[in-house]
Amino acid sequence: MTNRQYHLHGCDGDVGGYVLLPGDPGRCEAIAARFDSPRLVAANREFTTWTGSLRGISVSVTSTGIGGPSAAIAVEELTRLGVHTVLRVGTCGAIQPHVSKGDLVVAAAAVRDEGTSRQYLPLPYPALASPGIVCSITDALRARSTPYHVGVVHSKDSFYGQTQPETMPTEGALLESWKAWQRGGALASEMECAAVFIVAAVRRVRAGGILLCVNEPPYRRASSALEELPLDDLIDGAVASLDMIVASDEASESPASVGPPSGYSRPRN
């Protein structure tokens, strides 16, 4: 076992260069089922990893758990195993009234209202998805005729600070911040994109995010029946997006500007 990672328990050769990042380890097998020849690589704590292929190229799915700290760990350790492209796949709560339960949201950038990314870069540095990845995601969703929104999302550390601010000593500040995100046009709130985008920027890899809305604004409460949500739309959209990214990279003779960092050799099965 060469280069075995402390948390993920993955080793060299265990993961592909492209990785989907759901929060819930329970969704990894469902996502991997859309790959060719999927196999379980490792499972430790909140981190479960499966690897398969798309278009003959090795791809993986690794769960991150909830929040920025564990998401940052996943991205850090994946990059140490040679990963060059990560795509967060998760859920979010609507901020804008035109974002409805069941809609997909493509994260082009994230509000850094969390603590993890501050351990990497000062707050003036923006948390941006890779433009080429955003374009590939929207192209894939458009090809599937899947409705989506694209724009800024809000990343935070406290789920209940968002959903039940009236129970917090900082209620006033939380509500004022929420109004600011809404007036500024943030589409939805979630807990991992900012950390994923910032760690990816520091480690010089590509990142993006595709999210499923689980509530109806202006209500903050998430749906209590996630099984009734179109999770297949999220999973199929994410895998189609990854397939589009792989195809784009394969078609490009110089992928360094829109694809993996120069000098990276994409592994094949």
pLDDT at position 131, please?
A: 96
pLDDT at position 224, please?
A: 57
CATH architecture observed for domain 18-251? 3-Layer(aba) Sandwich (3.40)
Q: What's the average pLDDT block by block, 10 residues per block, for the chain (269 residues)?
A: 89 97 96 98 97 97 98 98 97 94 96 98 98 96 94 96 92 95 96 98 98 80 64 96 96 52 37
Phi-psi region of 189 (alpha: psi -120 to 50; beta: other; left: phi over 0): beta
Q: How does 98-119 read in b/e, with b if 16+ C-beta sit within 10 Å?
A: ebebbbbbbbbbbbbbbebbee
- Whole-structure pTM value: 0.91
113 forms bridges with which residues in the sheet?
Answer: 156
Alpha carbons 28 and 31: distance in angstroms, whole number: 5
Alpha carbons 178 and 96: distance in angstroms, whole number: 11
- Are 251 and 245 a contacting pair, CB within 8 Å? no
pLDDT at position 258, please?
A: 38
Indicate the SS3 state at residue 25: helix
pLDDT at position 133, please?
A: 97
pLDDT at position 255, please?
A: 43
Distances (CA, A) of 199 to 69, 73, 178: 11, 9, 25
- The DSSP secondary-structure symbol of 88 reads E
Distances (CA, A) of 34 to 17, 24, 59, 219, 229: 17, 17, 11, 33, 19
